[in-house]
Chain A
Amino acid sequence: MSSEIRGVEGKVMENQNQTPQSGLQISGNIGLDQDGVIRATVKGDIRSVSKLVIAKESVVSGVVRARDVRLEGRVDGGIEGSGQVWLVSGSVLRTRCAAKALRIDPGTDFNGELQVGE
Chain B
Amino acid sequence: MAVPKTEVRCPECGHAQMESENFISTVCRSCSFYFKSSLARQSKKRKVNRVSIQKRELTCADCGAVQMVAEEAQSSTCLECGRHLELGHRLIEGEHLGNLSLEGELQIGPKGNFGGSKARAARIVLQGRASGLLEAAEWLRVEGQAKIRSGGKGNQLTILEGASLEAGDLLSFESGEVDGELRCETLSIAGMLRVGPRGRVVAEKIVFGELTVELGGRLSGYGEVKSKPAEARKEPASEDGISETSLQK
Task: Classify chain B: how many residues form its interface, as a range.
Answer: 20 to 34
- Contact residues on A (Cβ < 8 Å of other chain), bracket: 35 or more
B206 touches A114 (CB 8 A): yes
A10-18, A19-27, A97-105: which lies at the B interface?
A97-105
- Please determine whether A37 and B223 come into contact, CB atoms closer than 8 angstroms: no
Q: Which of A88, A100, A109, A111 contacts B215 (CB 8 A)?
A: A100
> Taking CB as reference atom, which chain B residue is nearest A36?
B247
Residues of the A chain whose Cβ atoms lie less than 8 Å from the Cβ of B242: 51, 53, 68-70, 84, 86
Residue of chain B at shortest CB distance from A107: B233
Of B222, B225, B238, B243, which one neighbours A104 at CB under 8 angstroms?
B225
Pair A102/B247 contact, Cβ less than 8 Å: no
Mostly, the A contact residues are strand
- Max count, chain B CB within 10 A of own CB: residue among A99, A100, A101, A117: A117
> Quick one: CB contact mask for A18-57 with B, threshold 8 Å, 1 for yes?
0000000000000000011100000000000001110100
Residues in chain B within 8 A of chain A (CB atoms): 195, 206, 208-225, 228, 231, 233-234, 236, 238, 241-244, 246-248
22 A-B pairs with C-beta separation under 8 A: A51-B246, A51-B247, A53-B244, A70-B242, A84-B215, A89-B233, A89-B236, A90-B233, A99-B213, A102-B219, A103-B212, A104-B211, A104-B223, A105-B210, A111-B225, A112-B222, A113-B221, A113-B223, A114-B220, A115-B219, A116-B219, A117-B217
